[in-house]
Amino acid sequence: MNFLKTHALKLSLFAVLLLVLNLYGSQIINQNKEENNQEELFIIPKAEIYDKTANHSIVSALDSLANLKYFKLCSSCEQEEQTVKKITKDPESIVSKRLKTLDRQTPFHLTYNKEVQYFIDLYGYRKRRFTSKLLGLSDMYFPIFEELLDRYELPLEFKYLAVVESALNPSIKSHAGAVGLWQFMLNTGKAYDLKVNSYEDLRRDPYKSTEAACRYFQDLYSIYKDWELVLAAYNCGPGNVNKAIRRSGNKKSYWKLWPYLPKETRGYVPAFIAVNYVMSYANELKIYPSKPIKKYFEYDTLQVNKRIDLNLLAYQLDIPFKVLKTLNPAYKLDIIPQGESPKNLYLPITKIGAFLDQQDQIFAKSREIEKFSVPDRKKIQMVHHVLKGETLESLAKKYNCSTAQILHWNDLKEKQINEGQKLVVGFDRQKDKS
């Protein structure tokens, strides 16, 4: 009897042990699933999500759109005011489902997590009026991006990276000195044939800078074979990515490297994912485009091999100077210099014929203006006080100069002058300051 009791007790203990092991095993399995899910979604520490310092460059790029001249010219720009009084944020389940749909259409891994949601909130809600401008600017720049990305056989979603980098503002310059749509630093730009001198900065040229970015993407992919690491290296440089790989124990995926990357780069890929989402689902978010001056298909590129003064060109072709400057942001002094190779000139299609008809006259007048571009310090300026009814044309005739010269000497961007205004109308070559 004692034997049976002892045996029964052993069986009971064994059953309890099996039960404990079964429960523990289930817990381990569930824990592993949770860990795998966390590795897939990667929960970002809350303190990092709202690190304003780390996201400063992204927010600054968006804020640069506040006074961008693209949207301030005329009623034909048809800016759409946002009249939505109350915006309800979409549930996480809907956002996650939409991102999974986008993820199936791209080689990028469009993960959803709290860090991505932070940037969805930034572009989709907090800064939505600037996202409206981004949608309008995308009509101008995305066709250029898509053409070159396709030519270089790169994922077309790279076009959204320029939104993160510069908010599609070709004139923006970061606190670190990066310039243009693709935010090239000086030395990196030179490595990809983006020349910079006193007259021009090709990092601001939409076409040439995009081609340089494509070449850089290809070079980075040949190193990492991972598109998210290409994005990270584009932001912080291959050296920092390689350092993160070493510190992580040779891990080679973005989210596994996340804790070891520079703070700004930790927000970079999430911002890229968020821009993919917000610009793809803008209608659902009730964000509508504000129209820029000219869409891509409304302007074209010419190659010129002689000096052109953009103030003169704007006057001769009757183009608002702001439009011409917007289309040609690479020319720092508003002059296309004569060089060894032809330069790009971007003009509205409606003005191409007028330019071809007048190009010889424009070249000649630009050479004449060059003589007065930097006046001899010993020559005295001739100043005229504008009288009622006088125009630039009447003053040019009176003082035997061109209207373009008066515009240039007085740093005027428009032809409108006012009574009582003081204008430099030439230089007295007979008198000497000394």
| 80-106 pLDDT tens trace | 444 445 678 899 999 999 999 999 999
pLDDT, position 427 = 59
Residues in the chain: 434
pLDDT, position 328 = 95
Pick 366 or 101 by higher pLDDT. Answer: 101
Q: What is the DSSP letter of 19?
A: H
pLDDT by residue (tens digit) across 390-401?
A: 998 888 888 877
pLDDT, position 181 = 97
pLDDT, position 98 = 98
Q: What is the DSSP letter of 204?
A: G
Mean pLDDT of the chain: 81
pLDDT, position 17 = 41
Residue 46 predicted with pLDDT over 60: no
Pick 339 or 32 by higher pLDDT. Answer: 339
pLDDT by residue (tens digit) across 345-365?
A: 999 999 999 999 999 999 998
pLDDT by residue (tens digit) across 209-226?
A: 999 999 999 999 999 999
pLDDT, position 416 = 86
pLDDT, position 366 = 86
pLDDT, position 28 = 35
- Of 100-114, 231-245, 266-280, 357-371, give the lowest mean pLDDT range: 357-371
Going by pLDDT thresholds of 50, 70 and 90, the confidence category of residue 121 is very high
pTM: 0.74
Give 134-184 as a DSSP string: HHHHHHHHHHHHHHHHHHTT--GGGGGHHHHHHTT-TT-B-TT--BTTTTB
Residue 432 predicted with pLDDT over 60: no
Q: Averaging pLDDT over each range in 2-6, 43-47, 83-87, 92-96, which range is the top one? A: 92-96
The stretch 284-292 carries a mean pLDDT of: 88
pLDDT, position 426 = 73
The domains of the chain, with CATH numbers, are 46-280 (1.10.530.10), 298-372 (no CATH), 374-434 (3.10.350.10)
- Spatial neighbors of 204 by CB under 8 A, at least 6 apart, are 170, 171, 179, 180, 181, 329, 330
Going by pLDDT thresholds of 50, 70 and 90, the confidence category of residue 368 is confident
The stretch 260-274 carries a mean pLDDT of: 95
Tokens of 13: 């203990």
Residue 12 predicted with pLDDT over 60: no
CA 354 to chain centre: 32
pLDDT, position 371 = 60
Give me the sign of the Cα torsion angle 222, 226, 231, 235.
Answer: negative
Residue 22 predicted with pLDDT over 70: no
Give 295-337 as a DSSP string: -GGGEEEEEE-S-EEHHHHHHHHT--HHHHHHH-TTBTTSEE-
* Dihedral class, residue 318 (left if φ above 0, else alpha if ψ from -120 to 50, else beta): left
pLDDT by residue (tens digit) across 400-430?
A: 777 888 887 787 878 889 888 888 887 554 4
Pick 325 or 164 by higher pLDDT. Answer: 164
The stretch 237-251 carries a mean pLDDT of: 96
Residue 250 predicted with pLDDT over 60: yes
Going by pLDDT thresholds of 50, 70 and 90, the confidence category of residue 269 is very high
**For the chain, first and last CA: distance in Å?**
131
Share of the chain above pLDDT 70, in %: 78
pLDDT, position 156 = 98
pLDDT, position 69 = 62
pLDDT, position 75 = 37
pLDDT, position 194 = 97
pLDDT by residue (tens digit) across 132-186?
A: 999 999 998 999 999 999 999 999 999 999 999 999 999 899 988 999 999 999 9
Nearest partner of 125 among 100, 98, 102, 95, judged by Cα: 95
The stretch 291-311 carries a mean pLDDT of: 82
